[in-house]
């Protein structure tokens, strides 16, 4: 077993070609409350990964779910943040359009949570994902990604433009969501 990630909520380990995501105990919470929260979050994440996959969004295949652990396929891909260009940004827009069509908001859209393998983009880490169909939630989802583009890529304007085109190809309410993202950006700028 090799630890490949260690965050505030979970430890990610690799065993062979299986990723094991284990939600860690929070000792500051009452044991019963902590277990209930971790169990709910684990099951919700597994369910949303599977639901996204059924909607045509490439995600890891879930192999097993227990109270605090998800075992899933290891995607041996390259993080999008290392290779992004306008073509891949357009594909990202298409991918997120499919996700939003499904009624799922990822909650942590960054170029670190997308992997390219064999020419296909995979979406990973649904730890903050939830079901939501509002324009606001979708706008916030995209705003997080645009902030990632701006903070880590010099050609962020081209990436954002390509994303918007891809998003519009797969999500019919794209214009409305993109307009809301602009409002969210301006609220943050003047807050």
And the tokens for 5? 């990630």
**Cα–Cα distance for residue pair 57/94, rounded to 1 Å:** 9
Which of the residues 64, 67, 108, 155 is marked catalytic?
108
How does pLDDT run across 12-50, given as a tens digit for each residue? 999 999 999 999 999 999 999 999 999 999 999 999 999
Count of beta carbons in the 10 Å neighbourhood of residue 93: 26
Q: Count CA atoms within 13 Å of residue 156 on its CB side.
A: 12
| 191: confidence class by pLDDT, cuts 50, 70, 90 | very low
Of 26, 50, 46, the C-alpha closest to 36 is 26
pLDDT of residue 72: 97
Annotation marks residue 141 as catalytic: no
Residue matched to tokens 């994440």? 45
pLDDT greater than 80 at residue 188? no
How does pLDDT run across 97-148, given as a tens digit for each residue? 999 999 999 999 999 999 999 999 999 999 999 999 999 999 999 999 999 9
How does pLDDT run across 144-183, given as a tens digit for each residue? 999 999 998 888 999 999 999 999 999 999 999 999 999 9
**Cα–Cα distance for residue pair 170/88, rounded to 1 Å:** 15
And the tokens for 19? 């990723």
pLDDT of residue 153: 85
2-73 is classed CATH 3.30.200.20: yes
Of 179, 37, 45, the C-alpha closest to 108 is 45
And the tokens for 101? 């069509």
How would CATH label the architecture of 78-189? Orthogonal Bundle (1.10)
Asked if 39 and 47 touch (Cβ cutoff 8 Å), the reply is no
pLDDT of residue 189: 58
pLDDT of residue 86: 97
Domain map of the chain by residue range?
2-73, 78-189
Count of beta carbons in the 10 Å neighbourhood of residue 140: 18
Asked if 41 and 49 touch (Cβ cutoff 8 Å), the reply is no
**C-alpha 20: how far from its chain's center?**
17
**Cα–Cα distance for residue pair 65/77, rounded to 1 Å:** 23
pLDDT of residue 5: 84
């Amino acid at each position: 077993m090799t630890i490949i990630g260690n965050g505030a909520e979970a430890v990610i380990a690799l065993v062979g070609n299986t990723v094991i995501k284990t939600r860690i105990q929070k000792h500051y919470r009452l044991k019963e409350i902590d277990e209930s929260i971790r169990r709910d979050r684990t099951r919700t994440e597994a369910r949303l990964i599977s639901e996204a996959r059924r909607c045509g969004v490439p995600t890891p295949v879930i192999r097993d779910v227990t109270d605090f652990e998800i075992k899933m396929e290891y995607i041996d891909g390259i993080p999008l943040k290392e290779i992004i260009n306008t073509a891949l940004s357009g594909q990202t827009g298409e991918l997120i359009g499919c996700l939003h069509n499904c009624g799922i908001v990822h909650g942590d859209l960054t170029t670190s949570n997308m992997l390219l393998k064999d020419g296909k983009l995979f979406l990973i880490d649904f730890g903050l994902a939830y079901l939501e169909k509002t324009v606001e939630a979708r706008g916030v989802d995209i705003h997080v990604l645009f902030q990632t583009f701006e903070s880590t890529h010099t050609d962020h304007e081209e990436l954002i433009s390509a994303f918007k085109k891809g998003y519009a190809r797969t999500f019919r309410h794209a214009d409305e969501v993109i307009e809301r993202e602009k409002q969210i950006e301006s609220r943050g700028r003047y807050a």
